[in-house]
Structure 1
Amino acid sequence: MDHSPGQPRISVICPTYNRSRPILHTLASVSAQTVTDWEMLVVSDGSTDDTDACVREAALADPRIRLLRAERHGHPSGPRNLGLAEARGEVVAYLDHDDRWRPDHLAVVLSLIDAGAELVATGFELQDPQGRATAVSRPYEMCWHPEFQLLGVVFEPSRVAHRRGLAERVGGWRAGAGLEDWDLWLRMTDAGARFATAAERTTVLLDDAGTRRHRIPARHWLPLAAFDDPRAAHTMLERLRSGHAESALTAAQAADTAEWLARLTADPEFTRPTDWAGDPVPELAEARRAAAGAERWPELAVVRERGAAGARPRFLLAQPVRCADGRHADRIAALLRHTQPRLFALLDAIAAESAAPAPAVAR
């Protein structure tokens, strides 16, 4: 895409609602960028406090900042789509109103774009509301593959930029219960886009339990086994929670994960951060092992399957999964069955044992 004279190279889209004066810190982090060829579109989602006045104040000091006033959507996707419609830059970057950028963020973004990337992400530091660091990204966490994208939320909007037009080609931002960023990045991936990443921590994200991300409910389920009789499902649940075959399950999952990561890292679509030359496999494997945790089944539950009308009901032993829709949940379940064959073979065996009739008692 050619960069036309008189147009900014980068459009920064920032949805906001009733942020008031704290938004000035976010805006100041953009004004402080070492790259100066940008515009910032702050889309106020029907704010009822002084947020709009604060943005106008910042725009007087830096005319590259522009306020767009929207009717209330109650969700950041609508304002982001309005920002996309107004964007003039060849690159679109996102910044949430409670996050900030280090001064070199846009420089790192453009280095990836100029190397040929269409979709990019950078590392981060988490800070609590008092400004104390609570966590940082590690280089291996910036590794990317389409299967990683399907299985989990990988990059928050404030860490992502893409060439203009990519979001619109896949349908733009969608509203919903949450995880709209995961939904959009996945649709981009399905359309053939591939992330390029940098390990450098150029974003500062707010770490606050009150943010919307922490309130997203689990609306879908990942089935581990299906039963005609709910009693069999509860039997398997109790077996797993009591530690039945735990060592065998742990060994199976470790072997499956090692095989899966070996396959992914040999795949040309596997992305390592451009500024890191380490070996991601040991750390990725350890992260997967730690994610399983000592309590493997804390949220496991027996739920009734949503079958066709008139069909005989079945009962699932399942884990909740937080994703955008049921189709996505089905894709996660299918991929896990494919990538964890040893684990699911053991689970299938435990399910068969749980469904077997109790032996007759001799009299």
Structure 2
Amino acid sequence: MTPPRDPRVSVICPTFNRSRAITDTLDSVSAQSVTDWELLVVSDGSTDDTDDWVRDRARSDPRIRLIRTERHGHPSGPRNRGLAEARGAYTVYLDHDDLWFPGHLRVLLEAFADGAGFVATGFEVSDRHGTVTSASRPLEMCWHPEIQTLGPVFEPSRVAHRSGLAEQVGGWRAGGGAEDWDLWLRLADAGTRFATVLDRTVRLLSDAGTRRHGISLRRRMSVAVFDDARRAHAALRELRDDRHGAALRAACTADTRAWLRRMAASAQFVRPAGWAGDPEAGLTDGPEALGGSWTDLVLVPDRGRYLLALPLACVTAEHALRVQSLVRRTQPSQFALIDEVTARHGGTLPAPGVAGAVADRSGGGRS
């Protein structure tokens, strides 16, 4: 097959030491029903035979191109190199351990035809044995700027955007945190029109060895500040022992329903294409809004005081501050209960715009 001179789609796949396993990922691109694409496999200084396997596939499918870079140790560098080399009108991402179903590119291009600048598809999740363990639901495919601020939605392998948009907002940034969450947020802040589709066109690998399970949580959202370590620990124990668990879960669910109802009534709320269902129907009881659970709270020593905080995967301090402010506005009932508990132990509210917005140097975050 002759590679297209002007491909419609540029696929960027960063890789490091994937060896033969990468051929399954590459073959899932070659099997696409849409054929006018280029696949840029950016090897991040691989030291095994990964590059040889990519070259082998490129000999049988010249739309595949190997680009080798020095070692970055982070996918942002290879993705930015891919952006610099891409020629297509649309940029699509694929992590080296994920797979596409044959209609993935067709579904994306159909969504772009309605004028979107950014599109995300549905997904399945499988373990390393290939067993499907979960799949996307309609609620997970709803979008709003506030949802984008609070949660790392949309893994790269499900995403495409019009070429040039990423570069306009500064490209991919390295460092701690979820770099995809960071880029999608900057695209949203720049006014990019987001669209989603229900079609499950991607299979994501969920395994303890994948990068998704090892992202460092260097930022934090402060919940309360204490002058005394013993009283801080007492407050944390009370919140963790579940005596208030039922009340906190009920408050969180009620707040989240009210938040979702407000967003759904706004012009910025995006439903999956062709879906007119009730977003609230997809909610289950539990602490949805903290990006985890209030049981994930940790204590962080900070300049002679002690912060009760939630570790975050935000890349920047500014984003962590936005999360801290928005969560309190959208979850008032839950935080009324948490504030009542912490106040009994001498805790006070963090100062606006200060507490919780710096890197956690204490090692208190989750691994």
Distance 2:179 2:20 in 1: 26
Q: Deviations over 1:96-140 (max 9, x none)?
A: 111111110000000111110000000111122222212111122
| Structure 2 match to 1:130 | 129
- In structure 1, the residue matched to 2:295 is 298
CA 1:281 to 1:26, structure 2 compared with 1: closer, same or farther past 3 Å? same
Name the CA distance, whole Å, in 1 between partners of 2:53 and 2:198. 33
SS of residue paired to 2:10: strand
Partner of 1:216: 215
Q: Is the 8 A contact 1:13 1:84 kept in 2?
A: yes
1:1-363 equivalences in 2 (<5 Å):
6-283=5-282, 285-286=283-284, 289=286, 291=288, 297-305=294-302, 313-355=304-346
Q: Does structure 2 retain, via aligned residues, the 8 Å contact 1:11–1:41? A: yes
Q: Secondary structure at the match of 1:201?
A: strand
* Corresponding residue for residue 364 of structure 2: none
Shift of 1:314: 3.0
Report the CA distance shift for 1:347/1:130 in structure 2 as closer, same or farther (over 3 A).
Answer: closer
| Segment drifting more, 151-160 vs 237-246 | 237-246
> Share of identical aligned residues, percent?
60
Distance in 2 of aligned mates of 1:291 and 1:334: 16
Q: Cα offset for 1:332?
A: 0.9
Distance (Å, rounded) in 1 between the aligned partners of 2:340 and 2:23: 58
Q: Provide the rounded CA distance (Å) in 2 between the counterparts of 1:9 and 1:177.
A: 33
After TM superposition, give the deviation of residue 246 of structure 1 in Å: 4.1
Q: Could you tell me how far 1:31 is from its partner in structure 2?
A: 1.0
Q: CA contact under 8 A between 1:178 and 1:213: conserved in structure 2?
A: no
Stretches of structure 1 lacking an aligned partner (at least 5 in a row): 307-312, 357-363
The 1:246/1:211 distance shift into structure 2, 3 A limit, reads closer
| 1-structure distance, mates of 2:37, 2:52 | 22
Relative to structure 1, the CA distance from residue 355 to residue 169 in structure 2 (aligned partners, 3 Å threshold; closer, same or farther) is same
Question: Using the alignment, how far apart are the partners of 1:206 and 1:250 within structure 2?
Answer: 30
Deviation at 1:296, TM superposition (A): 5.4
Say which is worse superposed, 34-43 or 187-196, in terms of deviation.
187-196
**Could you say what secondary structure the match of 1:74 adopts?**
coil
CA contact (8 A) 2:219 2:316 kept: yes
Change in Cα spacing, 1:273 to 1:79, as seen in structure 2 (3 Å) is same
CA deviations on 1:161-196 (whole Å, 9 max, x unpaired) are 000000001100111134111111111111111320
Shift, 1:342, TM fit: 2.1
Residues 118, 314 of structure 1: CA spacing in aligned structure 2 closer, same or farther, 3 A cutoff? same
Kindly indicate whether the alpha-carbon contact (under 8 Å) linking 2:126 and 2:132 is maintained by their aligned counterparts in 1: yes
Supply the AA of the counterpart residue of 2:313: R
- Alpha carbons 2:11, 2:92 under 8 Å: kept: yes
Q: Do 2:256 and 2:288's aligned partners in 1 also have CA atoms closer than 8 Å?
A: no
Q: Distance in 2 between matches of 1:238 and 1:25?
A: 47
- Counterparts of 1:304 and 1:258, CA distance in 2: 34
AA paired with 2:12?
I
Q: CA offset at residue 16 of structure 1? A: 1.1
Q: Match for residue 356 of structure 2?
A: none
Query: Given residue 82 of structure 1, which amino acid in structure 2 is its aligned partner?
Result: R
Query: For the Cα contact (< 8 Å) 2:176–2:313, is it kept in 1?
Result: no
Change (3 A) 1:19 1:351: closer
What's the offset of the Cα at 1:244?
4.6
Specify whether residues 89 and 112 from structure 1 end up closer, same or farther in structure 2 by C-alpha distance, changes over 3 A only: same
> What do residues 2-47 of structure 1 show as CA deviations (whole Å, max 9, x unaligned)?
xxx9411100111111212221111111111111111111111112
Range 323-332 or range 151-160, more displaced: 323-332
CA distance in 1, matches of 2:236, 2:133: 35
Alpha-carbon contact 2:287-2:294 (below 8 Å) kept: no
Q: C-alpha separation between the residues in 1 aligned to 2:226 and 2:127?
A: 45
Tell me if structure 2 keeps the 8 A contact 1:200–1:275: no
The higher radius of gyration belongs to 1
1:235-291 CA deviation, whole Å, 9 max, x = no partner?
3223323445444433332332221111011111111110423211121x31x6265
Matched length: 343
After TM superposition, the score normalised by the length of structure 1 is 0.88
Specify the SS of the correspondent of 1:261: helix
Distance 2:247 2:286 in 1: 14
Describe the superposition over 1:314-353 as per-residue Cα deviations: whole angstroms up to 9, x where unpaired: 3222222232232222211110111112222232233332
Q: Provide the rounded CA distance (Å) in 2 between the counterparts of 1:235 and 1:23.
A: 49
Give 3-state SS (helix, strand or coil) of 2:97's partner: coil
